[in-house]
Amino acid sequence: NAGVMQNPRHLVRRRGQEARLRCSPMKGHSHVYWYRQLPEEGLKFMVYLQKENIIDESGMPKERFSAEFPKEGPSILRIQQVVRGDSAAYFCASSQEDTQYFGPGTRLTVL
């Protein structure tokens, strides 16, 4: 059973471009969570999704950020018109019940 997979592992974007981060949950998991980790800081919750539904997006900025978890395919975290402050590690976790399992993260660098 493969773990949570994220790609790309590293992503470099120029200011104003779009960033798309993908997360494939563990097999059988229908819950996906996205977190952001800034340097020297703890992980911060962004959004919680179940298949085709956003359950809680209270940690996600209202503008430029969006997330989806379609019926088929991976979950996508999309950041439009990236700015330097978006540079961070973005982690995805999945669960079937309570325990969340984390992916290796995507490190986004905005030049």
Region 40-79 residues binding other proteins, contact defined as CB under 8 A: 40-45, 48, 55-56
Q: How far is the CB of 95 from other proteins (least distance, A)?
A: 9
- How far apart (Å, rounded) are the C-alpha atoms in residues 84 and 46? 18
Q: Residue 31 CA to chain centroid, in angstroms?
A: 12
Q: Which range of residues in 39-47, 60-68, 70-78, 79-87 is near other proteins by CB under 8 A?
A: 39-47
Q: Which range in 11-19, 66-74, 76-84, 98-106 contacts other proteins by CB under 8 A?
A: 98-106
The neighbouring-strand residues paired with 2 are none
Tokens of 110: 């905005």
Contact 51, 43 (CB under 8 A): no
Interface ranges with other proteins (CB under 8 A): 4, 33, 35, 40-45, 48, 55-56, 91, 93, 98-100, 102-105
